[in-house]
Amino acid sequence: MHRKRLSSLALVCMAFLQFNCGGCDSSGDDNIVFIPDDDVKTTDVNYDVEAMNQIIASFSSPVEMAALLKASNVPFSTKYLVDPDMVRNYTSSFKKALGLGILSADLGYLNVYSKTSQILDYLVSIRQLTDDLKLGQFFEFATLKRLATSDDNIDSLLIMSVKSYQDMDAHLRNNQRSNLSALMVTGVWLESMYLVTQVAKEQPSEDFKNTIGSQKQVLKDLLPLLKLFAKESDKNFTELVRNLEELKDVLDVVKIDTRKKENVRPHEDGVFEQDYEDIVIVSDEELVEIITTTEKIHNKIIN
Amino acid sequence: MKRLFIILVFAIVAIAMSTSKSDAQCKQQVVYQCATQTEKAIYLRDFNTKLKRDAADEETGMKWTVVLNKGTQYRFSLCAPEGFQDQVVLTLYDSEHPENSKPWGSTYDKTTKSDRKSFDFICNKTAMYYISIRFKAGEGSKKACAVGILSFVGKNTK
* Tens-place pLDDT, residues A79-97: 999 999 998 889 999 999 9
CA distance A45 to A94: 18
Query: How many percent of chain B have pLDDT more than 70?
Result: 73
**Domain span at residue B10?**
2-155
Of the candidates A158, A214, A265, the beta carbon closest to that of B122 is on A265
- With a cut of 90, say whether residue B113 has pLDDT above it: no
- With a cut of 90, say whether residue B107 has pLDDT above it: yes
**The CATH number of the domain where B100 resides is what?**
2.60.120.380
Task: Give B3 to chain A, closest Cα distance, Å.
Answer: 12
- With a cut of 80, say whether residue A56 has pLDDT above it: yes
Q: At what angle do helices A235-251 and A284-302 cross, to 10 degrees?
A: 170
- With a cut of 70, say whether residue B15 has pLDDT above it: no
User: Which residues on chain B are in Cβ contact (under 8 Å) with A276?
Assistant: 124-125
Of the candidates A16, A55, A218, the beta carbon closest to that of B16 is on A16
Task: Name residues whose C-beta falls within 8 Å of residue A218's C-beta, 6 or more positions apart in sequence.
Answer: A59, A60, A189, B67, B126
Tens-place pLDDT, residues B72-103:
999 999 988 888 888 899 999 999 899 988 89
The three state secondary structure string of A134-177 is CCHHHCCHHHHHHHHCCHHHHHHHHHHHHHHHHHHHHHHHHCCC
Task: Name residues whose C-beta falls within 8 Å of residue B145's C-beta, 6 or more positions apart in sequence.
Answer: B23, B26, B27, B30, B48, B49, B50, B51, B80, B81, B84
Say how many CA atoms lie within 13 Å of B53 toward its Cβ: 19
Is B3 at the interface with chain A, CB within 8 A? no
CB contacts < 8 A (A, B): 150
User: Which residues on chain A are in Cβ contact (under 8 Å) with B44?
Assistant: 60-61, 63-64, 67, 162
pLDDT at A92: 93
pTM over 0.80: yes
Tens-place pLDDT, residues A260-279:
988 787 777 789 999 999 99
pLDDT band, residue B19 (cuts 50/70/90): very low
pLDDT at A187: 96
User: Which residues on chain A are in Cβ contact (under 8 Å) with B43?
Assistant: 63, 155, 158-159, 162
Q: How far apart are the first and last CA of chain A?
A: 66
- With a cut of 80, say whether residue B22 has pLDDT above it: no
Strand stretches in B21-142, DSSP E? 42-52, 61-68, 72-79, 88-93, 105-106, 108-109, 114-115, 118-123, 127-135
B137 against B3, higher pLDDT: B137
Tens-place pLDDT, residues A110-166:
999 999 889 999 999 999 999 999 999 999 999 999 988 886 677 889 999 998 998
Task: Name residues whose C-beta falls within 8 Å of residue A80's C-beta, 6 or more positions apart in sequence.
Answer: A109, A194, A195, A198, A199
A58 against B138, higher pLDDT: A58
B61 against B158, higher pLDDT: B61
Tens-place pLDDT, residues A166-179:
899 889 988 889 99
- With a cut of 60, say whether residue B126 has pLDDT above it: yes
- With a cut of 80, say whether residue A32 has pLDDT above it: no
Per the CB < 8 Å rule, is A9 touching B9? yes
pLDDT band, residue A49 (cuts 50/70/90): confident
